[in-house]
Structure 1
Amino acid sequence: MARKKRNPDAIVAAFDTYFGNGELADWQRLCRDIGLEAEGKNTSSITQCRKALETVHVNIYDLLHAVRLGTQPRRFGSAKALSKYCRNTGKIYPKERAKEMGPVRALLREVFRHG
């Protein structure tokens, strides 16, 4: 299957719109949309949300698609499995566009390190 050409500006804008201003409620929504609250993860503070997200491997394109559909995104068992999927599909969030301490940074994994 051929990889589809992805528009990095579109995914950055879509995630920024989805996430909002980065308030605690925005972080909690992200954790809920990924399914962390249902698993009993502590999401009582931004710090706790960040900690919960450290162990989660989801594709950002798929996350936004799942939110639009009202479903949960596919979660990968490891950064290596997510990396392989990202490379195979071309669904790679532009690392240089991630805000330093924002939610995208919490979700990003080194795609090309896991070959």
Structure 2
Amino acid sequence: GGRMGDVSAAIGQVGRAAGYGINADFGGHGVGRTMHEEPHVPNLGRPGTGLKLKTGLVVAIEPWFMAGGDDYVVDDDGWTIRTADGSLAAHAEHTVALTPDGPVVLTARD
């Protein structure tokens, strides 16, 4: 019964509670046969909104937390992303499958 906005809101709440900036322009994505498929998984959102989460959906959840605020720059190579103020940042990814028995974190070490 959850929605994508619930996931996005949780990412934002955790990051903001810890005092981090959040890259809201990039985020997670669907996982399938091509790279970065739909649906987009935003790093900020409102609970109860967005795509309804259903069995069979596989998504990569990719929070981007930045020590200095929300601003970032993209280098001339079009690929490298840096915090605008030069502070530290972290980007992580977990792939989650929604199964009939509940969510399974496919990238968990256990």
TM-score by length of 1: 0.25
Please identify which structure carries the higher strand content: 2
TM-score by length of 2: 0.26
Please identify which structure carries the higher helix content: 1
